[in-house]
Structure 1
């Protein structure tokens, strides 16, 4: 009996495979579909119908490859099909923004659990693509709190600076067993989701992180009102505090909490601890391991609080860069140092800046005090002989 695969291969070679844009990768994927062990081809009469099916599958696959289509959402919430994420250079986020509508526009319940899970997986997929592959992320389609959205935008930008230049593009996400719980309150209730994700790289390797979400019904649509990724040395772990319990769905409505992340002098938990220790002994070893932006934030914080001894202690100790002594610094009139309000305006948005290293031990933080990318400022830094970044005298350029 003639093998029906022979006819199929000839037909494919004469049609789809002739297209020069149909790559070896595409061809291999089609053959994998043909040779799945669940498919058993035994009757010649099936060849015609099978050929049509395979050609249609090939066409759909090829179209999806060219459009960059990616769907990380599983039909069953406990068994997510891994989503292939191509190694994209440049921008290109989600093409069509889905709407995550609540089952009942006026309330939230466990009936919304699967849709909430779907939204969280999409958000995680876009997030890891953004920080590793450099694609856009539309936070508006996921987040229902402006303060959280601003924090997440800063988080994405910061993590892209950390990971985006590495040769480690994300290939797919694998979702483990996730948890969901509904709690009722005076605001209509909220869902808590814990979603463990394993990030797989194109060149092998990867890592895992658990992420916790709070979801509310906002005008009939599901929206994330808190998003925390745990694990040692994660952005949230360092910025929000390693002992924080994720138990308040309204934390981003707390003005005192938000102030920590919106103010240029607002130190993160670990930075505050370093500042408190450094203030006691002015020992530069307390600063070891801090990046230039954290050092600059300590300087701004000390200046804002008129802690001038700490301000001077943060200046460079390289002898050829010292402009005046500590004794001379103590003689500077208060009127010449600037008011707290002036300090805030001068260094506004420095925590969102980018560090540019210009030499073996020199560099500056580029930032935009007005946030409009028109008036740019530079904050000069100098690394001392022990490898610790310090503030240059007269740091503003």
Structure 2
């Protein structure tokens, strides 16, 4: 039996662009089937062609009726009667508008604090674990920390808190060089005379654009044992889904570092937190939320513990202890019951932890390690434990 008639019926399928048939396709197919039946009725025996034709017709109709049903059910044909569109999802523009409207004094204070922390990290070698120092053309330099090997890495980090223009300005104002394919900067520390983490917002002025604010800050300045204040005005812009500082804040410079194969030497007898660590410490002391610690290396967390002990903030020092199962030696209530006479004097704590800021963290296991440092008492080890949340905490009885 010839199959030519069946092939002719399937011709409309050859040029279909997708699953959904054209609006007039089913009617055209129905007409083609009827016309072909009329043309072949007289020349083919009824018993020979009609059953095959009937089966082919039913099969093709089933395919397209089924495809219409699937498309309508899955939303492919949104013009079908009774079809309901899914609820609209708020787009990014709507989210951005909400964030712009939420801008207030608290947000302005947080932004300046975060910007200061980022700025200080970059200007001080990329954090507490900056690279080795060296001399280039008579000038002292240090390699940047391991996360800041290139200009782009520095800019990406700064742009978390600054506009791209301000980030470029910061990078351009400081004489970075490339040595052995690594970024380096002059071996100079920048101190924290300007207490940006303690600023107060004097006023907020909205510009014509909803994406800009002029914020006036009152900034404490601590120098030679006295605390004064000064007023600074900055522009804040809403960029890439968040408010960013569009300017450069002043920082004061400290002493140059000496060349050393083992890193900066401890020339300061007093224990001190870096600017970044101080920002994290103040934030953590307010609510004891460990999320303030998630970006700090183990050495910095160890230093926060020492700072809490020096300030006799035992609630903070206990909150810095590990809570990993099997490593907790006493409850908070038991810790609070320790008499003051057993905790050590300020002089004893300072002597015990002298040199810690120049220590090196050594990881000894999946979630264990210690900060190795030296002082007049010899080589010391400050025990650290990584909790289940991935944040390093202080081990109970940390000195080994």
Question: What's the TM-score, normalizing by structure 1?
Answer: 0.40
| Structure number having the greater strand percentage | 2
Question: What's the TM-score, normalizing by structure 2?
Answer: 0.40
Q: Which has the larger radius of gyration?
A: 2
